[in-house]
Amino acid sequence: MAIEVAGSIGTIPAVALVGALGVGSQWLAWRLQLPAIVLMLAAGVVVGPLTGILVPSVEFGALLQPLIALAVSIILFEGGLTLDFKKLAGAGTGVIRLIVIGAPLGWLLSSLTLRYGAGLTWDAAVVFGGIMIVTGPTVIAPLLRQARLQRRPAALLQWEAIVNDPIGALAAVVAFQVVLTLRGGAEVGMGAMVFGIVFSATLGYAIAKSVVYLFRNALVPEYMKVPVLFAAVLVAFSVSDLLLHESGLLAVTVMGLVIANANLPSYEELRRFKEHATVLLVSGLFILLAASLDFSALGQLTWRASLFVLGVVLLARPLTVLISLLGTDLPWRERILVAFTGPRGIVLVAVAGLFGERLAAAGVADGALVGPLAFALVTVTVVLHGFTLGPMARFLGLSGGESPGVILVGGSRFTTEFAQALVKAGLPALITDPNRANLQRARDAGIPTFYGDILGEAAEHSVEFIEYRTVLAATNNDAYNTLVVADLGPEFGRARVWRLARSKENRARHALPPGLAGRSIGEGRTQEYLDDLVKQGWSMRVTRITEEFTLTIGASVGRMHS
């Protein structure tokens, strides 16, 4: 009865509810420092099966699955946009092994777990095992953001999730067609499948190259670049899917990879907008996923479902990773972290539900169990890794740590003194400067340094940005300080990026727009002025903020007397 009442809220209120719950869960998770995915799943379950307020199949009807498919295609494309080959940072061999060895090995071990753990027939186990190659690109991104992993293990998990996602979907297609062939009812021949896969990869590559050509030669105005990109993704996905079901995922992933490595001038703007869209889509998908939960379907599962989940988490996933990475120079701590991190997400549920129905229709009796098993696996792994990835990474020494480090841009007496005060307080500090001579004082003081431009490509490869949460641009170049604030603001958060105040900071004629100005300190004191103070004997002191000694008072500078 609750479902009938829920259907009366209408499609538009349902869209608003999904958006509010998804974004609200992400914000609340940020405030409470909890895994966002867990809160989204909990919110979806509350408004879905528990209260019947939202029933996606009623509110969206036949549009539900196509909308989910298009959202997943955009998420995968955005994921491909993050896969810059230059950013593999030593993880290249591991990524290749996790794809070339890990995908087929994971298929085999997952199928064995399904057969002997869940008790499925070989027909259902092989098809579902192919789908389980997917490790959840919709889950990995928010988990990495929450856990703040170091660059290499984060790259391994991210590349594996995104690249193996279309491979898993296509493996399920191949396995399903083999099952139908053995049963005498094949829909698509093997030759047609191979052609469809090659066509999808070629289509994604061709559309990506066309987009790159148009953007690079200024044949598309700036304000239309994002709409053109969105339209190109949808065209690639839908055209490819028409020829071979689920091959659209491969096309959009190839598109993202090609564009990410094309060195487009507007790449950062495109990537950031896509990230914002992906946050919205991931939020919405997880709310819909949880709200679509059918308790009666889960009631079909027996104790063997628990055995299956434990087998995947404790045996199939770890063995897949550890065997795949044998012989690499990756530290054992990174191998352990990746081996015991294998969350599944919306792609697994969507594809498993589809093939479960097809298997049941083809006469495979336990095909109806594929969907419930997929949801059980997703729920357990999302909750498990949501709460354990961060602590495990900290235990293994592979996270950014709890101390909020500071990057000081510009080598000088002032930044060296500042860095020494931070280090004494137990906070990581890094001084960067493109002039090696400016870093000599910091190196003599034992302060970590980076020689180069903090905005350059070398910094992305050499600096573990995850260890730092705050940036202070304190060079003697006001324009460069402003550029640092504007460029790093979206990455660190504009509230955490500071610069020295400019000499004409308070004059209206010289005021900067809010998007460039950022936060400033110093009230017009230049780097030279602050250096002179340090030279005269002034120093930095650390004190606790109290009612008597407020933040405003604490920001003042005191003089050290010998």
pLDDT in tens, 226-261: 889 889 999 999 998 888 777 888 888 889 889 888
Of 243-257, 335-349, 511-525, the range with the lowest mean pLDDT is 511-525
Percent of the chain past pLDDT 90, that is, above it, reads: 19
* Structure confidence at residue 316 (pLDDT): 93
What is the model's pLDDT at position 440? 92
The pLDDT score that the predictor gives to residue 407 is 92
Chain centroid to CA 62:
29
pLDDT tens digit string along 266-306? 777 777 776 777 778 878 888 887 888 777 777 778 889 89
User: Which residue do the tokens 């920001």 mark?
Assistant: 555
Higher pLDDT, 256 or 88: 256
pLDDT at 507 over 80: no
The rounded distance, in Å, linking the Cα atoms of 314 and 422 is 42
Q: Which of 135, 134, 125, 132 is nearest to 178 (CA)?
A: 125
Kindly state the tokens that stand for 57. 């199949």
Q: What is the overall mean pLDDT for the chain?
A: 82
Three-state DSSP string of 512-544 = CCHHHHCEEECCCCCHHHHHHHHHHCECCCCCC
- Place 506 in a pLDDT band, splitting at 50, 70 and 90: low
Q: Are 144 and 326 in contact (CB under 8 A)?
A: no
Is the pLDDT reported for residue 16 higher than 50?
yes
pLDDT (0 to 100) of residue 115: 92
Of the pLDDT bands very low, low, confident and very high (cuts 50, 70, 90), residue 519 is confident
- The residues near 388 (Cβ < 8 Å, ≥ 6 apart) are none
Q: What is the pLDDT of residues 408-462, one digit of tens each?
A: 999 999 999 999 988 888 888 999 999 989 999 999 999 999 998 888 877 777 7
CB atoms within 10 A of CB 99: 17
Domains parsed from the chain with CATH numbers: 2-395 (1.20.1530.20), 405-554 (3.40.50.720)
61 exposed, middle or buried (CB, 10 Å; 0-12, 13-18, 19+)? exposed
Counting Cα atoms < 13 Å in the Cβ hemisphere of 274 gives 30
> Out of 96-110, 314-328, 426-440, 463-477, which region has the weakest mean confidence (pLDDT)?
463-477
* Angle value at C-alpha 24, between 21 and 30, nearest 5 degrees: 140
- Alpha helices by DSSP H, 340-398: 346-361, 370-395
Which whole number is the average pLDDT over 357-383? 84
Whether the predicted pLDDT of 327 surpasses 70: yes
pLDDT at 394 over 60: yes
Q: How confident is the model at residue 482 (pLDDT cuts 50, 70, 90)?
A: confident
Question: Residue 315: what pLDDT?
Answer: 93
Picking from 124-128, 349-353, 497-501, which range would have the lowest pLDDT averaged per residue?
349-353
Q: Beginning with the edge strand found earlier in the chain, give each strand of the sheet holding 519-521 in spatial order.
A: 449-451, 429-433, 405-409, 468-473, 497-500, 519-521
Count of other CB atoms within 10 angstroms of residue 53: 16
Angle at the Cα of 11 from the Cα atoms of 10 and 17, rounded to 5 degrees: 95
Which pairs from 536-539 meet CB under 8 Å and 24+ separation? 537/561, 537/562, 539/417, 539/421
pLDDT > 90? residue 94: no
Between these two residues, 186 and 492, which has the higher pLDDT value? 492
**Does 149 or 184 have the greater pLDDT score?**
149
Mean pLDDT of 457-474: 81
pLDDT, tens digit (0-9, with 9 covering 90-100), for 152-164: 888 888 888 878 8
Which residue in the block uniquely carries the two structure tokens 């460069």?
480
pLDDT above 50 for 473: yes
Structure tokens at 226: 């994002």
- State pTM to two decimals: 0.71
